Structure 1
């Protein structure tokens, strides 16, 4: 049996339960610890099943960290009565359907119907994690700002300001959120969201080897309207720049 990788990192799942099963079968016995980068829900058909699988996985592998994604945060905001249309239009309707809940139910009724274990899961997700190999975060880090001073808004939403920056933190930053045709590998960052829900691939990264393991997925949602550049970036500058301009208000 080959030596175990120290850490396995899994990119954005977005309700693609079958792809998650296939990927975990390839990596579950290959690492000592696991980090999932968020966006477990929305857009795909099986958000409830994905969270069930993740909870069962952590029971088998206690050295597992689940990070917050912007879609988990949107669900939590929705349950508080905020930005209801934003959540539902960004894939939230598919998430509620996976629980057998109508999007017409309203936040209070939805909260009452979600499993308690799933609510606990959502409320306990950290924003940022690190080990000896890197920093792990859903969207990225604000360049030039120490990791201890990063805001949730930045960690969950940032795009261009981080992706196009050459700033180097003490360790590489491993992130999801922004979709690439293939993993983005630079000296200061590694992006592993390869568009599973859009018919791309669901990708895991084994560290410190920097070995990628991925599975092909069927398209469950239409890709974003804004497409990318020569680097294979699917989700583009207009969104990233708008978010980065807002970050100053969260510090």
Structure 2
């Protein structure tokens, strides 16, 4: 590890709590590191609530953590506000709703509500732009819509636009990490039988872990 610490980006977790814990054990993050989680912590996988508990524990331990909003967190927030339940259920949200159900009522711990409400839409450093899904080509970062940041796919992936920084993203599952000069994609389909991936952006070293029984 360099003296300045690592800049670690972590791809889509989707309720794969055991994969997350295994990955964190391999990373052994410390207070010298900076960690950016790319969103989609919940839905589809077996233990979304456990994932959030662990992420909160990581933030207490590592301190310099940034948590981005994914489209799945946006859908959960919509449901909590009484909107778009059919869309959420169609995108694997039932497992998360059941995880937070108590006596027939949806009850999130206050710490989890604060976590979801505090998620960032993007995070920029001097060399990188972190975002869940990607960026709309030919559109300045300041003018990107939430829908672009959380949902875009084909228009971003097909573009060779240069935003002046490397864009680090998740959202689109890939068999292996995408490591290009202008783009780094880290959703390697942990919930679909792939792996959960972390990358140190200073060195582009990778760490990976697999959720048991997801193949």
TM-score norm. by structure 2 comes to 0.93
Give the structure 2 partner of residue 213 of structure 1.
Answer: 207
SS where residue 192 of structure 2 aligns?
coil
Give the structure 1 partner of residue 9 of structure 2.
Answer: 9
SS where residue 20 of structure 2 aligns?
helix
Give the structure 2 partner of residue 228 of structure 1.
Answer: none
Report 1:105-116 matches (<5 A).
Answer: 105=104, 109-110=105-106, 113-116=107-110
Give the structure 2 partner of residue 64 of structure 1.
Answer: 65
CA contact 2:18–2:212 (8 Å) conserved in 1: no
1:33-88 Cα deviation digits (max 9, x unpaired):
10000000000111000000000110011100000000000000011111111112
1:101, distance to aligned residue in structure 2 (A): 4.7
CA contact 1:142–1:162 (8 Å) conserved in 2: yes
Give the structure 1 partner of residue 146 of structure 2.
Answer: 152
Which is further off, 183-192 or 33-42?
A: 183-192
Give the structure 2 partner of residue 183 of structure 1.
Answer: 177
Asked if 1:164 is matched to 2:165, the reply is: no
CA contact 2:134–2:150 (8 Å) conserved in 1: yes
- Where structure 1 has 5 or more consecutive residues not aligned to the other structure, the ranges are 222-251
Report 1:1-251 matches (<5 A).
Answer: 3=3, 5-29=5-29, 32-101=33-102, 105=104, 109-110=105-106, 113-218=107-212, 220=214
Give the aligned CA root-mean-square deviation in angstroms. Answer: 1.8
1:216, distance to aligned residue in structure 2 (A): 2.3
Question: 2:213, 2:153 → 1: CA distance?
Answer: 23
- Where structure 2 has 5 or more consecutive residues not aligned to the other structure, the ranges are none
Question: Structure with the greater relative contact order (CA < 8 A, sep ≥ 6): 1 or 2?
Answer: 2
Question: 2:192, 2:120 → 1: CA distance?
Answer: 26
